[in-house]
Homo-oligomer: A and B are copies of this chain.
Amino acid sequence: MTIKAAVVGASGYTGEELFRLLVGHPKVEIAGAHDIRNVGKAVSEIHPNLKGILDLKITEPDYSKLGEEVDVVFVATPHKVAMKFVPKLLEGRAKIIDLSADYRFDDVKVYEKYYAKHESPKVRGVYGLPELHREDIKRARFIANPGCFPTAAILSLAPLVKSQLISLEHIIIDAKTGTSGAGVTLTEATHHSMAGANIRAYAATTHRHAPEIDQELTKLAGRKVKGNFTPHLIPVVRGILSTSHVFMKRFANRGELLDLYREFYVHEPFVRVRDGLPEVNYVVGSNYCDIGLELDQEGKRLVVVSAIDNLTKGASGQAVQNMNLMSGFDETEGLRSPAMRP
């Protein structure tokens, strides 16, 4: 059985990554590539890596029909755009996976504080992190696909926060990302002359991925938790390394902590708990989230490091994983490629 999928937001990087993954997915036919930019051009004209592979023309989306014509719609438009048309899409029969932040928050006020006034505040998606919400995702019609930093951060902290082995008052998440996370929009910070030989922190206490992390950690702990998230821009194109620094509340040695993680993720196809610390090039181009940890000699401070590809497990790969779950496919279908290393 094959399903029909459409991508809205065909011109961006998460759109490009969706196409890269879906052209190799044995159960998906790419039925539509939509955007308000580049209408009439072939997908492969915008994304020249796809020449001869996906030469489909980009058309303007017709939201009133799209939900009827295909089985799944990936929404890969910028934040604040999806909310304008998702309600219309939901009138159709298609399953929807929104890669933007528009429907990720349980509390719409949080969204409005960090993004903008919400235009469809009554609608909400299932938070599409399979490792925490798999059963809900399977039953869902509408998925709010997680942000890239939250994916890396939440997965690296979930076992600790759930077990409450650590001080929940002193969690630090110091993340490092490649530049593709900033998308196709030209900015001074991602101009090569400014980014190519530079390291910078940004939105050090105010990044809009922080409340998303806090929301999920809070659910895990059963009480309010703050992740204290700070991102950095690094001169690689792809990849996130997320370093969580936490303080132990109860004693546990490194072996016990590794066992905790291994047990927590024992059935997860895309989380690899490692003996050592993961590096970005263990995962770039793949849907894996690799996790490792190191405890200091006094057994007090624990460092947990996770690595993902921001465009794959951090966006489009996770979206395909969610599609697989919603469609009853093997969860790893189309996503088994190992990382490209070196």
Partner-B contacts on A (CB < 8 A) = 13, 16, 19-20, 23-24, 47-54, 169-170, 172, 174, 176, 178-180, 182, 184, 186-188, 190-202, 204-206, 226, 228, 230, 232, 234-239, 241, 243, 245, 247, 272, 274, 277-286, 290, 294-297, 301, 303, 305, 307, 311, 336-342
Across the A-B interface, the 3 shortest Cβ-Cβ residue pairs: A49-B339, A205-B296, A186-B186
In the complex, which of the residues B48, B176, B241, B274 contacts A274, with contact meaning CB atoms closer than 8 Å? B48
Q: How far is the CB of A135 from chain B (nearest CB, A)?
A: 24
Q: How far is the CB of A180 from chain B (nearest CB, A)?
A: 4
Q: Which residues of B are found within 8 Å of A290, using beta-carbon distances?
A: 48, 51
Judge whether A286 and B232 touch: CB under 8 Å. no
In the complex, which of the residues B20, B179, B197, B201 contacts A236, with contact meaning CB atoms closer than 8 Å? B197
Judge whether B184 and A191 touch: CB under 8 Å. yes
Q: Which residues of B are found within 8 Å of A201, using beta-carbon distances?
A: 241, 243, 277, 303, 305
One complex includes copies of this chain to the number of 4
Judge whether B297 and A206 touch: CB under 8 Å. yes
Q: How far is the CB of A228 from chain B (nearest CB, A)?
A: 5
Q: Which residue among A49, A234, A245 has the maximum number of chain B CB atoms within 10 Å of its CB?
A: A49
Q: Which residues of B are found within 8 Å of A342, using beta-carbon distances?
A: 13, 16, 180, 193-194, 197, 237-238, 311
Judge whether A198 and B51 touch: CB under 8 Å. no
Q: How far is the CB of A153 from chain B (nearest CB, A)?
A: 14
Q: Which residue among A192, A197, A232, A281 has the maximum number of chain B CB atoms within 10 Å of its CB?
A: A192
Judge whether B281 and A49 touch: CB under 8 Å. yes
Judge whether B284 and A197 touch: CB under 8 Å. yes
- A283-B49, A294-B204, A342-B13 known; A199 and B303 CB under 8 Å? no
Q: Which residues of B are found within 8 Å of A206, using beta-carbon distances?
A: 294, 296-297
